[in-house]
Structure 1
Amino acid sequence: LTGHRAVVIGVAFSPDGKMLVSGSDDKTVKLWTPEGKLLRTLQGHEAQVYGVAFSPDGKKVASASADTTAKIWSIDTSSSQSPITLTGHQSVVWGVAFSPDGKQLASASWDGTIKLWNVEDTTPKLLTTLTGHQAAILGVAFSPDGRMLASSSADNTIKLWQLKSGQPPYLAQTLTGHTTQVYGVTFSADSKMVASASADNTIKLWHPDGQLIRTLKGHDAVAYAVSISPDGKTIASASWDKTVKLWDQDGTLLTTLNGYDGRFWGISFSPDGQSIAAANEDKTVIVWNKNTVLNLNPLTYACQWVQDYLVTNTNLNSDDRRICDGHLSQN
């Protein structure tokens, strides 16, 4: 998906899987079809856009920005409604997440706080500010059952906050084990597993009670983002080593998607689990079909990304040009 003018940081599928939202250093939020058609460009942030999220009903998008605000946009194309702007953070807002019922939005900031907002109507209200992290907060996620909020931080920890209606949120667990900042955090669809992505190059899988399940090792640089397939069986990780890796829940590396020029930032599974979208430093969002990439012979995969080189490089002899014959489907 091409159209952004700078690094793409955040990406998310809509709940029905028919749209993607992306946020970029070019200060814009873009809405796309998964096939690559640009639907809308949302402009209004005064600095880079980092995290993006769809509301559970698919009618709104939230964005987090270096301009210290979060914004909520209506995606109704017939509406000329201005975005709602949430102000109050003292520094960059890095992540946003809607609660499963769509009534609340969490914003995570470099100021070390998470703010919870009531966003049921057009005048959002700050409900509470969660403090406890010792450094910038880099990621935030609600559990699908609505009972917990997870935050990931540059203090090397993930914190799990208990949410009970009518009561203020309280800190339930601090997950320790990463050796440097934790960028991404997400829950499995059944809310029984938390995954975290860290600058220590690893992905960690945790029980919400704080127990470490396993550590996924294989990236050669920062693991920036992580997403769990809806059935809980596949974990996708995006890394600054310019690869996306797919892992089995038991820790087995299933495949590595490589051959790209830029570092990967955000990553998202589609709601049906069949597609994976990743945000790249090369100003694009890349969408793969999970079954296609998992069933590819490694040689077929390698041949796909040297295909143009074999055709266009004038230094190759005719035998070398045919090295991939039989490994590429003829279109």
Structure 2
Amino acid sequence: MAIATASCTAILTTQSNQNGAATVTAANWQEAQLLHTLPGHSNSRLIDVRSITMSKDGLSLISAGMSGDEPNEQGSYDGEVRVWNLESGELISTIPELFDEMSVVTIGDDRQTLVVGDRSYTIRLWDLETGEKLQTLPDIGYLTELLILSQDGQTLITANPDDQTVQVWDVESQQVVQSFNAEHEAIVVEGGDRPVEIPGRLSRMALSDDGKILATTGLDKIIKLWNLETGELILTFPTDHEYPIHSLTFSPDGETLVSGSSDNTVKLWNQEGEFLHTLTGHSSTVFSLQYSPNGEVLATSDLDGTVNVWNPTTGELIQTLAEEPVREGGTAASLSFSPNGEILAGVNYDGTIKVWQVNQQSP
């Protein structure tokens, strides 16, 4: 099964630089247009779309998630992958039940590898283009949704949210090449007649595009930056978020780190931990953050289904692409830009996927 077909053609043409790469800025997203509303997995047994990405050639959209009317005896679901033609919005192919007893699924930063974890603590990597299993990491010892595959597909990062152990795996050898503890602190909350201490917990991670720096955060709302090769702590800084952080991402050049919180704000920091901007325009928890490949645009989405597009340099809100949830409790759970930055897709928990394109007439 291939993720793109020969019949697919380019969707958009924009001004290009001398290297032939598309030059898409925040201004291009003013009055962006809805290209497709894909049925996604809403007409199947799939109940939770966990991840979407564009193919490397920008011609296809891949969605992956958990399927089944009810979990099996182990509390897990089967998994399904669907591939869509971005030009026509048509479903190209489906890989049904590629894996079973699944607890977590994500698409790697390489846009080509599916990473699946199951209830036996095993992690499997699948090639989305061929449908073949690439590697199996047997029994990592814990159940986790904290999984990151590097852009070159050679490094997998896993973390135990409870004891906060971070492990760095060499995919080819299936060996742990680095391990360290994130050590995020416990928090104290008001509970009835007396304060209650909640143990420290690792909640989110983000990897720089060059694969060298890992950012972690926990219930303490503190961000830590780690040297992934040595496991050494580089920097610790408080974020001043009022409530916990639910999303983290680096800019493509690694110079900026972005955090989204249940205080409904997005904050930007430089690599020294110095505060840059607070983005306000969401009315609920910010669950997803996505930079365009050239770093000129930042997309954010929240629990209410709002998708905002920002100029990350100035902090200006460029466009609100979606304001109404597809259903009550729906949220744009995953965002993905095409490799040229001309297309943005967002998936809702009811299974539908919206695809927007840039306004080619914008300056």
TM-score of Structure 1 vs Structure 2, range by shorter chain: 0.7 to 0.9
Partner of residue 10, structure 2: none
Asked whether the 8 Å contact 2:41–2:49 carries over to 1, the reply is no
1:239 Cα deviation (Å)? 0.5
Q: Structure 2: any 5+ residue segments left out of the alignment?
A: 1-37, 68-76, 186-199
Instruction: Quote the residue 2:214 is aligned against.
Output: 149
CA distance in 2, matches of 1:67, 1:265: 25
Give CA deviations for 1:28-73 in whole Å, capped at 9, x if unaligned: 24242343525333532424435x12353x5422245677543311
* Residues 58-207 of structure 1: pairs in structure 2 closer than 5 A: 58-64=111-117, 68-77=121-130, 79=132, 81=133, 84-91=136-143, 93-111=144-162, 112-121=164-173, 124-131=174-181, 132-134=183-185, 135-164=200-229, 168-177=230-239, 178-207=241-270
2:72 matches 1:8: no
Q: Match of 1:163, as an amino acid? A: L
Distance in 2, matches of 1:183 and 1:36, equals: 32
Contact 1:22 1:30 (C-alpha < 8 Å) held by counterparts = yes
Paired AA for residue 49 in structure 1: V
Alpha-carbon spacing, 1:285–1:78, altered in 2? closer, same or farther (3 Å): closer
Q: CA 1:89–1:236 in structure 2 vs 1: closer, same or farther (change >3 Å)?
A: farther
Match of 2:315 among 233, 238, 251: 251
Instruction: Report how far residue 221 of structure 1 moved.
Output: 0.6
Q: CA deviation at 1:159?
A: 2.1
Determine which structure has greater relative contact order: mean sequence separation of CA pairs < 8 Å that are 6+ residues apart, divided by chain length.
Answer: 2
What is the CA-CA distance between 1:246 and the residue it aligns to?
Answer: 0.8
Q: State TM-score, norm by structure 2.
A: 0.70
Per-residue CA shift, 1:272-315, capped at 9, x if unaligned?
111112121112232211337x96xxxxxxxxxxxxxxxxxxxx
1:218, distance to aligned residue in structure 2 (A): 1.5
Letter in 2 for 1:117: W
Query: Cα 1:198–1:43, aligned 2, differ >3 Å: closer, same or farther?
Result: farther
Q: What displacement does 1:214 show? A: 0.9
Larger % of helix: which? Answer: 1
Farther-moved stretch of structure 1 (229-238 vs 255-264): 255-264
- Decide whether aligned partners of structure 1 residues 67 and 224 sit closer, same or farther in structure 2, where only a CA change above 3 A counts: farther
Q: Residue deviations 1:98-140, cap 9 Å, x none?
A: 224332111244333322111025xx11223331234443433
Q: 1:136 to 1:288 in 2, by over 3 A?
A: farther
Task: Provide Cα deviations, 1:162-206, integer angstroms capped at 9, x if missing partner.
Answer: 134xxx221112232222222221111111111122222111111
Residue type at the aligned position of 2:234: A
Q: TM-score, normalised by structure 1?
A: 0.76
| Contact 1:226/1:237 (<8 A) preserved | yes
> 2:258 & 2:121 partners in 1: Cα distance?
26
Task: Write the letter of the residue equivalent to 1:119.
Answer: V
Structure 1 residues 308-319: aligned runs within 5 Å: none
Residues paired across the two proteins, number: 285
Assess if the C-alpha contact under 8 Å between 1:247 and 1:254 holds in 2: yes
Give the Cα separation in 2 of the matches to 1:23 and 1:286: 15
RMSD of the TM alignment (CA)?
2.7
Match of 2:94 in 1: 40
Q: Distance in 1 between matches of 2:270 and 2:228?
A: 17
Larger strand percent: 2
Cα distance change, pair 231–115 in 1 and its aligned pair in 2 (3 A): same
Instruction: Specify every segment of 5 or more residues in structure 1 that has no aligned partner in the other structure, as ranges.
Output: 296-331
**1:207 CA displacement:** 0.8
